[in-house]
Amino acid sequence: MPAPGAVPRAPAPGRAPSTGVPAHPGATDPHAAPAGNAPGAVPPGHAAAQRPADTPSTGVPAHPGATDPHHAASAPGTSAPGAPPTAPSAHPAPPAPPLPAGAPAQPAPAQPASAPTAPQGAPSTGVRFDRPAQPEVPAPQPPAQADDYTLQAPDPRAAADAAEAPAQGGGPGSAVCVACRAGRVDDDGYCENCGHAQPRERDHMEQECGPLAAVSDRGLRHHRNEDAFAVGTTTLPDGAPVSVAVVCDGVSSATRPDEASLAASRAANASLLDALPRGTHPQQAMHEAILAASEAVNALADEQPAEAREHAPQQNAPACTIVGAVVTAGLLVVGWVGDSRAYWIPVDRSAPPARLTEDDSWAAQMVAAGLMGEAEAYADHRAHAITGWLGADAYELEPHTAAFKPDRPGVVVVCTDGLWNYAESADEMAEAVPADAAARPLHAARVLVGHALDGGGHDNVTVALVPFPAVPQGAGSA
């Protein structure tokens, strides 16, 4: 979604309690170092996209124009470009022939669109937009005729060679285009025959790991997937099974947001899978995992070119949000920074669902301050200005953790805003989650991603589902 334009000063960053959400006790336990690796995700195919022109892509992260390094560039304004006059021709063109009687007058040529200018106001300190600035949308054009884009007929010899290449284990340039099924795919990932971009590894990812599963999709508007997830299972010292899910959303206005989300999810997952078998309390382990994820993202800023580090060592550094869940027998722990969320959906739908996290965002601060209702705040164009994130330019890292003891079976939905934008409240999320989600988590995750795509797919969509098993009566309440 496009970044807003001139943004009024937002409240100071920090955790803003949300109205009507369960209380979340913060973790204050000591920190431990991460270790291990998260299981890899298996990417199936994804719909092909047309090769872009040589103009800048609308999804490329915008460099912040404000003096504070935490802000993305605001939406462009307008200005009168004023083109210089051209020299008169030595041979003026003959006058146009008169129109026939009764013919309608020719319309005057349209004036050129004004060029964008810098934003008039600078965002306030401690607020960052997780969407890049978008150019003005051009006026819709009439549909092209079928013969306007005549494609070169594929060489049958090349098509035959390309079809045989996968079976022969060919290298780059030997794959067959998923769009025309005839042309070779070049080293840049485009079809040499029809020009279509081929699916990237992270365009669509699915993974099932024991009782839990996760799905991530690029969506319908972004040119790449900047979300990432990691899931895993392990055991506690007493042999009790434990499930772990981490979901991260790259901040699109930052540099390399896809790398940030991937590094954070892997580091947090590895930290949890290392700490839990050693007897670390799940809530403390979650706190340590968020710190480990932060360190992994911070390290990406050190990998920038030396010249960039010299002039602005932390400006527009890689950044992402994070949310994670740990499920053990009788205990549910969540942790987060940013606006990615976790929901509790009971198997018995007569029981109420609940949102387990609260956003580090402008909208949450407005609601907490009593200045806006929740529906009004999240409908505002500034709603997705986040006040907490992982990254070298983060104003202040404040990991949030909360522990719950549900007294009935259910499923934990861990997701990015690409999903909850289409199911914001706990009741809406419960309606979108299939009734058999606890028994078929991968199927349910696919359904939820489809729900977001059917709603418009304006953002990357990532969701992990972690079933919570039934516990003995009297173990606790959600």
Signed CA dihedral, 190, 191, 194, 197: sign only = negative
Assign 440 a pLDDT band (cuts: 50, 70, 90): very high
Q: Is 474 exposed, middle or buried (0-12, 13-18, 19+ CB in 10 A)?
A: exposed
SS3 250: strand
Q: Is 54 exposed, middle or buried (0-12, 13-18, 19+ CB in 10 A)?
A: exposed
pLDDT score at 23: 40
Q: What letter represents residue 453's amino acid?
A: L
> Between the CA of residue 108 and those of 86, 92, 94, 138, what are the distances in Å?
19, 20, 19, 19
DSSP H helix total and E strand total for the chain: 9, 16
Whether pTM > 0.75 for this model: the answer is no
> Between the CA of residue 166 and those of 161, 173, 178, what are the distances in Å?
10, 10, 13
Distance CA 441, CA 265 (A): 20
- What are 115's two structure tokens? 């060029």
CA angle 134, 424, 359 (to 5 degrees): 75
SS3 402: strand
Distance CA 49, CA 220 (A): 10
Q: Assess contact for 73 and 63: CB atoms under 8 A.
A: yes
Across 62-71, 203-212, 369-378, least confident range = 62-71
Assign 174 a pLDDT band (cuts: 50, 70, 90): low
Assign 121 a pLDDT band (cuts: 50, 70, 90): very low
Category of 82 on φ-ψ map: left (φ > 0), alpha (ψ -120 to 50) or beta = left
Q: What average pLDDT does the structure give for the chain?
A: 74
pLDDT score at 189: 80
Choice between 306 and 347, residue whose per-residue pLDDT is larger: 347
pLDDT score at 346: 97
Choice between 178 and 79, residue whose per-residue pLDDT is larger: 178
Across 104-113, 181-190, 196-205, 305-314, least confident range = 104-113
User: What percentage of the chain's residues is helix, strand, coil (to nearest 5)?
Assistant: 20, 20, 60
Q: Assess contact for 128 and 386: CB atoms under 8 A.
A: yes
pLDDT digits (tens, 9 = 90+) for 22-79: 444 344 443 443 444 434 443 444 444 444 444 444 443 434 333 343 443 333 343 4
Please determine, for residue 176, whether its predicted confidence score (pLDDT) is greater than 60.
yes
Choice between 470 and 5, residue whose per-residue pLDDT is larger: 470
**Cα torsion at 267, 270, 272, 273 (round to 10°)?**
170
With tokens 């989600």, the residue in question is 437
Q: Which residues of 336-373 are buried (b: 16+ CB within 10 A; e: fewer)?
A: bbbbbbbbbbbbeeebebbbbbbbbbbbbbbbbeeebe
